Amino acid sequence: MAANPLAPMLDAHVHLPGYSDPAEVVARARMKGIRLVSVTVSDQIEVFKAQVEVAERLKKPMQVHSRGAEERCLEVLEGYSLRPLLMHWFEGEDCVSRVIARERFVSFGPAILYSKKLQKIADRCPPEFVLAESDGPVAFAALGGAEGPGLIPSVAFKLGEVWGKSFDEVVLQLSLNERRLFG
């Protein structure tokens, strides 16, 4: 089926509040025939609460992308007894103790290979609540553009360095954690 060159295009995820003049961005997009989907923070919080309620009711695991909004996400989550729960690519250095106290899982990706901040956070996390992730297809400039699931062994190796454990011990622990999280 040939694409209709006159059909409007869609930007399915734009952070309009991040622009100094959101109205100008909208106007320029309209002139080019581009429709925008932008969700406000308050909308995101309401949708997030609804998702948490469904996961809790159905007793399903949930993965939360909290990057840059760790405090807000944790405030919402504290009203629920949802388990299991994974805080994806967790960077909330000031929130680690709150996450661990609630026995939430956290995941670390390839950025842990070079980020001292993430290494510090991982050091504070009990290994029994950690998973590895690639966040593919994100390419990491600091790693020469490497990306994808092939980086998981390197993440496990780095976690072993941080925790003073062997690669085999870390791989076994990550496997056990995955079973606890996803069944």
State residue 7's pLDDT score. 55
Q: Which helix H or strand E contains 119, and what residues bound it?
A: helix 116-124
Per mean pLDDT, which range of 27-41, 72-86, 103-117 is the poorest?
27-41
Band (pLDDT 50/70/90 cuts) for residue 19 is confident
CB-count burial class (<10 Å; 0-12, 13-18, 19+) for 49: middle
DSSP-derived pairing of the beta strands 139-140 and 146-147: antiparallel
Q: Considering the chain, tell me which residue range(s) the CATH 3.20.20.140 domain(s) occupy.
A: 41-182
How are beta strands 62-65 and 146-147 bridged, if at all? unpaired
Residue 1: per-residue pLDDT: 46
The pLDDT assigned to 46 comes to 86
Mean pLDDT, residues 138-167: 93
77, 102 contact by CB (below 8 A): yes
- Evaluate if pTM is beyond 0.85: no
Place 52 in a pLDDT band, splitting at 50, 70 and 90.
Answer: very high
CATH superfamily of domain region 41-182: Metal-dependent hydrolases (3.20.20.140)
Per the prediction, the chain carries an average pLDDT of 87
**Span 99-111, average pLDDT:** 92
Poorest-pLDDT segment among 81-85, 140-144, 161-165: 81-85
